[in-house]
């Protein structure tokens, strides 16, 4: 598996913000979103066995592990690693762009799917996978404009996401949308 970094920190976003977390950042991504903040994970990295990754994760006191990237689902052994972490008693979340099949992932893992909006430059066109998300999964939208917000709102309603997943999250794209504006749009939309 290609790993850019493994580190211990505090989760900074989503419903688990503020929790201690071991991050495993995998190398490689097949998208090029205009707002990407981890371009350094596109290339390079170090080849590590699942055993080496598990040993590195075990060095940290947190029982919460975030598998991220790049795009973690590009790693063929990700389902096996996820199963091994779960068997060891870890709570495991996987942050993905959702444009790769989620089928092989254990249902116990938390899938945090970043649905790509039109202004990301990598709009998600096939949203069928949303119906297969579990009640503990989360969906997030990075909003780059008012049009992105309206597009996201339509996806949320059409796929009944507010009722079918644990959380629907919206984040303003840095430098494109002011957080206050996004908050106002969310409140105004109900």
pLDDT (tens digit per residue) in 14-61 = 899 999 999 999 999 998 988 888 888 999 999 999 999 999 999 999
Q: How far is CA 72 from CA 68, 93, 119, 163, 189, in A?
A: 5, 11, 23, 27, 33
What tens digit of pLDDT does each residue of 92-130 get? 999 999 888 888 999 999 999 999 999 999 988 889 889
Residues in the chain: 190
Helices (H) and strands (E) in the chain, counts: 5, 8
Confidence (pLDDT) at 84: 98
pLDDT for 23 equals 98
Please report, for residues 18, 106, 154, 165, the alpha-carbon distance to residue 9 in angstroms, rounded to integers and kept in the order given.
Answer: 9, 25, 35, 26
Residue 131 has pLDDT above 90, yes or no: no
In the block, which residue shows the tokens 């039109």? 118
- At 13, list the tokens: 């976003």
């Amino acid at each position: 598996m290609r790993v850019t970094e493994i580190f211990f920190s505090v989760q900074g976003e989503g419903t688990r913000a503020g929790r201690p977390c071991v991050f495993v950042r995998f190398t490689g991504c097949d998208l090029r979103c205009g707002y990407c903040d981890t371009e350094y994970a596109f290339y390079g990295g170090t080849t590590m066995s699942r055993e080496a990754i598990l040993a590195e994760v075990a060095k940290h006191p947190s029982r919460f592990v975030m598998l991220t990237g790049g795009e973690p689902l590009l790693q063929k052994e990700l389902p096996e690693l996820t199963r091994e972490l779960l068997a060891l008693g870890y709570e495991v979340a996987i942050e993905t762009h959702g444009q790769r099949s989620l089928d092989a992932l254990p249902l116990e893992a938390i899938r945090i799917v970043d649905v790509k909006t039109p202004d990301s430059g990598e709009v998600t066109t096939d949203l069928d996978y949303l119906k297969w998300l579990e009640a503990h999964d989360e969906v997030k939208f990075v909003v780059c404009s008012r049009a992105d917000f309206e597009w996201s709102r339509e996806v949320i309603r059409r796929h009944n996401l507010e009722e079918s997943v644990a959380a629907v999250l919206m984040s303003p794209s840095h430098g494109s949308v002011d957080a206050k504006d996004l908050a106002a749009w969310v409140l105004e939309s109900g």
